Amino acid sequence: MARRKKAPLPLLENLEIIDAGSDGKAIAKTEQRVVFIPFGAPGDLVDAQAYKKKRNLFEARITKFHKKSDLRVEPECSHFGLCGGCKWQHMAYETQLKFKQKQVKDAFERIAKVEYEEFLPIIGSSEQYYYRNKLEFTFSDRRWLTDYDPSKEEGGPADTNGLGFHLPGMFDKILDIEHCYLQKDPSNVIRLEIKKYALENDLTFYNVKRWEGLLRNLIIRTSESGDLMVIVVFRYDDMDIKGLMQHLADKFPEITSLMYVINEKKNDSISDLEVRLFKGNPFIMEKMPSPKGEKDFDFKVGPLSFYQTNPKQAYQLYKKAFEFAEFKGDELVYDLYTGAGTIAAFVADSVKKVIGIEYIESAVEDATENMHLNNIENTKFYSGDMARVLNDEFIEENGKPDIIIVDPPRAGMHDKVIKQIINAAPEKIVYVSCNPSTQARDVALLAEHYDVKKIQPVDMFPQTHHVENVVLLRKKANG
By C-beta, is 295 or 388 nearer to ligand SAH? Answer: 388
d(CA 227, CA 210): 36
CB of 296 to ligand SAH, least distance (A): 16
Cα separation, 238 vs 204, in Å, equals: 11
CB 73 within 8 A of CB 91: yes
Cα 421 to Cα 206, 398, 414, 443, 446, distances in angstroms: 44, 14, 11, 12, 9
Q: From the CB of 10, what's the least distance to ligand SAH, in Å? A: 42
Positions 366 through 405 that interact with ligand SAH (CB under 6 A): 385-386
Q: Out of 10, 243, 399, 409, name the contact with ligand SAH by CB under 6 A.
A: 409
Name the residue nearer to ligand SAH (CB basis): 331 or 358: 358
Q: Confirm if 49 and 61 have CB atoms less than 8 A apart.
A: yes
Axis-axis angle for helices 240-251, 187-200 (nearest 10): 140
- Clarify whether 77 is annotated catalytic: no
Residues 44-83, one symbol each (x = binds ligand SAH by CB under 6 A, - = not), give ----------------------------------------
**Could you give the string, one character per residue 5-34, with x where binding to ligand SAH holds by CB under 6 A and - elsewhere?**
------------------------------
CB-facing half-sphere around the CA of 144: CA atoms within 13 A: 19
Which residue from 445, 448, 454, 479 is spatially nearest to 117, judged by alpha carbons? 454
Q: Which of 407, 442, 459, 468 binds ligand SAH (CB under 6 A)?
A: 407
Question: Which pairing describes strands 332-336 and 353-358: parallel, antiparallel, or unpaired?
Answer: parallel
Calpha distance 111→475 (Å, rounded): 21
Query: What number of chain residues touch ligand SAH (CB under 6 A)?
Result: 16
**CB 338, min distance to ligand SAH, A:** 5
Note whether 342 binds ligand SAH by CB under 6 A. yes
The C-alpha atoms of residue 293 and residue 314 are separated, in whole angstroms, by: 14
Binding mask 260-299 for ligand SAH (x = CB under 6 A): ----------------------------------------
Q: Is 343 in the site for ligand SAH (CB under 6 A)?
A: yes
Out of 308, 362, 374, 439, point to the residue binding ligand SAH (CB under 6 A).
308
3-class SS of residue 330? coil
Indicate whether 248 belongs to the interface with ligand SAH (CB under 6 A).
Answer: no
Please check whether residue 85 is in contact with residue 73, taking contact to mean a CB–CB distance below 8 angstroms: no
User: In this chain, which stretch among 3-11, 50-58, 95-103, 358-366 interacts with ligand SAH, using CB under 6 A?
Assistant: 358-366
* Nearest CB to ligand SAH, comparing residues 399 and 409: 409
Rule CB under 6 A: is residue 348 a binding residue for ligand SAH?
Answer: no
Region binding ligand SAH by CB under 6 A among candidate stretches 234-242, 259-267, 355-363, 450-458: 355-363
Angle between helices 436-446 and 415-424 (to 10 degrees): 50
CB 412 within 8 A of CB 441: yes
**Euclidean distance between CA atoms 296 and 310, whole angstroms:** 17
Considering only 60, 351, 360, 473, the residue that binds ligand SAH (CB under 6 A) is 360
Contact positions toward ligand SAH, by CB under 6 A? 306-308, 337-339, 342-343, 358-360, 363, 385-386, 407, 409
Would you name the residues annotated as active-site residues? 434
